Chains A and B, each alone.
Chain A
């Protein structure tokens, strides 16, 4: 009887999975917040995109070159790039996230000081670059050299952590669609980063969101740009493959 029950459950669960039950955090928001994201003239995240555009075109560092000096028109050259990050970096022979790539360009190619993680300059440039991939499907690289990092991210995602002894998966897989307090629990697909969070009253990165979740779990936060943070980001992008990017998203 028990075995039969399992079979019935599996029988129901499989077709549902095949239909793709994955949803962006957008679908869990109220109509007011959705409207704020959808209108580019009312979306406060667009202020960072605008600032990023100006930075893209401005000369920086000892090279006196701008991003545009090499990459030209971002609306063409950078289209789809954010959907493929984190990626394997040839020079350092290590996985690199999009913000890390921008820091690398700034320091090594433009001869400018390294922009700070979570600082205004890096967020503006990252949101401008990611915005060029809006409405494109997340397409993580099929690079075999990323396999171990992806596995590390998957392990982190399901590892119980902190004083509350929670894993990411317990909320975002097992209880997604449920509520924590009055707030709906989304499926944790990183579709709109950097995004404008009303709670932050500012734009922030996915890795800031990690820190936020981890401190909620009473766990030790992982540093932005660290191996662990990039591994978790890589795993989440793989898990969200095919879902369209929304940068700059708005979330409560």
Chain B
């Protein structure tokens, strides 16, 4: 039996849906991830400087850096910095473990962004408090994708 054009496009649509379908993070699953990171403790805004482009050319590699205002002494330092997103397949991006030997609470990395969305950076302090900053990033679609 020959597949008609309509049948083919239905098949193709079904196939592509099946491929794109894997579960996605949602603002709710991001919240759950953040809860796991903080142990449910309150998160205040501030002290975190989150540097990421507002508009990126390709979501495959988005540079970001985080700088937290902290003296980084034995008694008062940043212990962890967590990065979370709300629209990638998974809400977790990375967790960085810092020590008083870091000298400065500053990290940089590159992440993937599935879509335009809010990214959140949370700093855990040695006294068990949490501070955060968030930033919206607009991802433009590249014109020439392969195949």
Contact = CB atoms under 8 A, between A and B. Distances in A.
Contacts of B140: 181-183
Interface string B123-147: 0000000000000000011111111
A24 B63 CA distance: 22
B141 A252 contact: no
Contacts of A36: 61, 63
A185 B141 CA distance: 14
A199 B56 contact: no
B53 interface: yes
A252 B147 contact: no
Q: Kindly state the interface size class of chain A when it binds its partner.
A: 20 to 34
A23 B60 CA distance: 25
Given A30-B53, A32-B53, A201 B61 contact: yes
B143 A213 contact: no
A201 B60 contact: yes
B144 A216 contact: yes
A114 to B, nearest CB: 24
Contacts of A201: 60-61
B76 interface: no
Given A30-B53, A32-B56, A33-B57, A199 B146 contact: yes
Interface string A212-239: 1101100000000000000000000000
A180 interface: yes
Interface residues of B, number: 17
B142 A199 contact: yes
B143 A182 contact: yes
A183 B57 contact: yes
A147 interface: no
Contacts of B55: 30
Contact of A212 (B62, B63, B146): B146
Nearest to A201: B60
Given A32-B56, A33-B57, A199-B58, A180 B63 contact: no
A113 B77 CA distance: 56
Given A198-B58, A198-B61, A201-B61, A183 B142 contact: yes
The winner among A179, A181, A252 for most chain B CB atoms within 10 A is A252
The winner among A182, A212, A216 for most chain B CB atoms within 10 A is A182
A199 B141 contact: no
A56 to B, nearest CB: 27
Given A29-B57, A33-B57, A198-B57, A181 B146 contact: no
14 contacts: A32-B57, A179-B143, A181-B142, A181-B143, A182-B143, A199-B60, A199-B146, A201-B60, A213-B144, A215-B147, A216-B143, A216-B144, A252-B58, A252-B142
Interface of B: 53, 55-58, 60-63, 140-147
Given A44-B61, A181-B140, A183-B144, 14 more contacts: A30-B53, A30-B55, A30-B57, A32-B53, A36-B63, A180-B144, A182-B140, A183-B140, A198-B60, A198-B61, A201-B60, A212-B144, A213-B144, A215-B146
Interface of A: 29-30, 32-33, 35-36, 44, 179-183, 185, 198-201, 211-213, 215-216, 252
